[in-house]
Amino acid sequence: MTPSPSMETEIGRKILAEHPGTTGSLGCAISEAVETATQNEGYRYVLGSVLNQVLLHQSIIGMETKIALDQYGIVPDMIIGCAGGGSNLGGLISPFMGEKLRGERDYQFITVEPASCPSLTRGVYAYDFCDTGMVCPLAKMYTLGSGFIPSPNHAGGLRYHGMSSILSQLYADGYMEARSVGQVEVFQAAEAFARVEGILPAPESSHAIKVAIDEAMKCKETGEEKTIVFGLTGTGYFDMMAYEKFHNGEMTDYIPTDEDLKQGIDGIPRFPGNME
């Protein structure tokens, strides 16, 4: 396993030269993986997030959820999921969103992203490169610019500059809401969940857990009864270092300033009709 960006690819070396000491992003890793695949005979690269076919594969998550809820006669009021590239969230909401788009039933969809990498809540809707090295095709999405490198604080595997084209379209059309949350509050929610449920959640999942708890507390205050479904995408046993940092008071929250975001957004391709 080689951490990205690395000195093993031309793109990796270029990124490190421009951003010394950076911890990189998903966009950096994609660029290096594509370069490696194209320069080595017999290698293939399959993107694991963002693209339409990945959301299609992930839709089994949503279908299983829908079948289970239907068997018990449960109709959710809101569905909450974490989002980096967006494939897991897209898979979770797919059958429910289909009902909403067909006018069969209404749901509230909330996507939750890290405040340190806020592509939906603070990005722009434009055609942009899917990777930092700009070797992949352009995609229409909410983006912070392919050159945006998130701060090195923990962001639960959600460190990507853009968002799935499908989810971006749904968000632009008003079918989804988006929230951004900081890492300290995410891990506070994760620990509370673990103490109650006996499951140590993945940091990615804990973004959704944080907002699910927020929404549940609102119901407690107002007296409303709502059924809340959220995506528990995995366990946190591979992220024990992050939990240790949280308990040691070393977990940091860096919220990018408008100036931080401007550099990446300024690098989005300019052509007629883009970024309008």
Strands 228-230 and 78-82: parallel
pLDDT value of position 4: 85
**Tally of CB atoms within 10 A around 230:** 23
- Alpha carbon 1 to its chain's center: 23
User: Which one-letter DSSP state was computed for residue 19?
Assistant: S
Q: Helices 26-39 & 10-18, crossing angle to 10 degrees? A: 150
The CATH number assigned to the domain with range 52-266 reads 3.40.50.1100
pLDDT one-digit tens code per residue, 131-174: 888 888 899 999 999 999 887 666 667 889 999 999 999 999 99
The domain ranges of the chain are: 52-266
Rounded to 5 degrees, what angle do the CA atoms 68, 213, 98 make? 40
Global pTM value: 0.92
β-pair type (177-181, 108-114): parallel
Residue 5 in contact with residue 12, Cβ under 8 Å?
Answer: yes
* H helix intervals, 132-226: 165-172, 183-197, 203-222
The separation between CA 237 and the C-alpha centre of its own chain, rounded to angstroms, equals 20
What is the Cα–Cα distance from 36 to 141, expressed in whole angstroms? Answer: 26
- What local confidence, expressed as pLDDT, does residue 49 receive? 81
User: DSSP string spanning 65-90?
Assistant: HHHHHHHTT---SEEEEE-SSSHHHH
Cα–Cα distance measured from residue 55 to residue 76, given in angstroms and rounded to the nearest whole number: 21
Q: What pLDDT digit, counting tens, does each position of 85-108 carry?
A: 999 999 999 999 999 999 999 999
Which strands sit side by side in the sheet containing 177-181, from one edge to the other? 177-181, 108-114, 78-82, 228-230
For the chain, residues with pLDDT lower than 70 are 152-156, 276
